Amino acid sequence: MVEAGILQAQSGKVRLLKRNELQTDWDPGHDTRMPDWEIAQYLIRSLDQDGEVGAAELLAKVGDRGENARDLAYRLYSLCDRKGWTQEAIVYNSLVISWPEINRLASEIQPSAPHQTSFL
């Protein structure tokens, strides 16, 4: 998880990175280790920063893995709600509530056409 860039282990202490500590230029196409937690955090950050369209663009890149991230967000929402962690509960719930529209928008995104070289 350290190599995936989502966990910090230092001086015998281990912690998950906060959303604002995650890479700003993350590309799931170049990430060989993508835990569902990581995908959920990037989807939430995209939703927060770029709205449903931004989250949909990211969902189109992660594909079916997005469903696992949504399910995890729902479970984390339930946990945070029970524990009284209101701010985090709201964040996870926002992804769950927006999911139908994010999913619809992602399904409309066409993969970019491969670059073609013309021979003259």
What is the pTM assigned to this prediction?
0.80
The values of phi and psi at residue 110, to 5°, are -90, 135
pLDDT digits (tens, 9 = 90+) for 7-57: 566 777 777 667 777 777 777 777 777 888 889 999 999 999 999 999 999
User: β-strand 7-10 against 13-16: which pairing, if any?
Assistant: antiparallel
- The Cα–Cα gap between 47 and 51 comes to 4
Examine the pLDDT at 74 and tell me if it is beyond 90. yes
Give pLDDT, residue 26.
77
More confident residue, 36 or 81: 81
Q: Please say whether the beta carbons of 59 and 44 come within 8 A.
A: no
Give pLDDT, residue 115.
41
pLDDT digits (tens, 9 = 90+) for 90-115: 999 999 999 999 999 999 986 554 44
**Hey, where are the domains in the chain?**
33-108
